[in-house]
Amino acid sequence: MVEKDKRLELCRKLEKALKYSRFIHTMGVAFTATSLAARWGADMEKAELAGLLHDCAKYVPLDEMLRLCREANLPVSDMESRSTALLHSKAGSVLARTAYGVEDEEVLGAIRYHTTGRPEMTLLEKIIFISDYIEPGRCEAPNLPEIRALAFSDIDACLLKILSDTLSYLGDSDKEIDQMTQMTYNYYKETVSGKEEN
Ligand code: DGI
Ligand code: FE
Ligand code: FE
């Protein structure tokens, strides 16, 4: 687990950077991520750290997010350049490094891909993506009891269900679908159904 003093300092800093409701969500993600890490054999300290920091850039203004990504040489798509809802994850991975001193690439990757996922996610990336969706404070998404159970029984099937429900939700609300979200869904649709056929 994250060392005690470091964890206290990090939580204090996040409490100031986030709205109270977002801070509580963050604690829920960190807690859920450590539970999933214990279940699936991932590094619990990395899971906790990535969970704590995943939304660290949530309230950074869009122009500042763009500057962070530009300075870190991270490419930003057209759609991302218009949306803090999408860009906060990529910008968050930069801020985690520059403002919170995180150097671990696995942790930074889990922050970077927590909104859209990506094909061939690492175990830690899957854990943060899923924890963000199922932490105890989340209650609006459909199928949560089924998805929460799947998170502990079949992690890839869980991932696919979240991606499929997210695409349905975005389609129903006439929201533009990010290329990476679609690519992630396509990839896991193939791998999960491929597994079922064997
Ligand atoms: O930051 P959180 O609210 O905890 O959750 P998040 O980072 O998963 O998602 C932020 C928002 O991004 C959420 O409202 C869903 C949205 N999102 C994810 N994929 C796409 C998307 N929005 C659009 N327009 N297109 C996507 O492909
Ligand atoms: Fe987020
Ligand atoms: Fe989140």
Mean pLDDT for 82-101 is 98
pLDDT score recorded for residue 43: 98
Starting from the CA of residue 163, give the closest ligand: 1
Maximum C-alpha span of the chain: 50
| Ligand 1 atom at shortest distance from the alpha carbon of 182 | 27
Q: For the segment 105-124, what is each residue's pLDDT rounded down to a tens digit?
A: 999 999 999 999 999 999 99
Q: Which amino acid is at 114?
A: H
Among 20-29, 175-184, 188-197, the range scoring the smallest mean pLDDT is 188-197
Q: Report the alpha-carbon angle 42-43-48, nearest 5.
A: 110
Domains and CATH numbers, the chain: 4-143 (1.10.3210.10)
- Rounded to two decimals, the pTM is 0.97
Using most ligand atoms within 8 A of CB, pick from 78, 115, 184 the residue to mutate for ligand 1.
Answer: 115
Instruction: Determine contact, residues 162/116, Cβ cutoff 8 Å.
Output: no
pLDDT score recorded for residue 196: 65
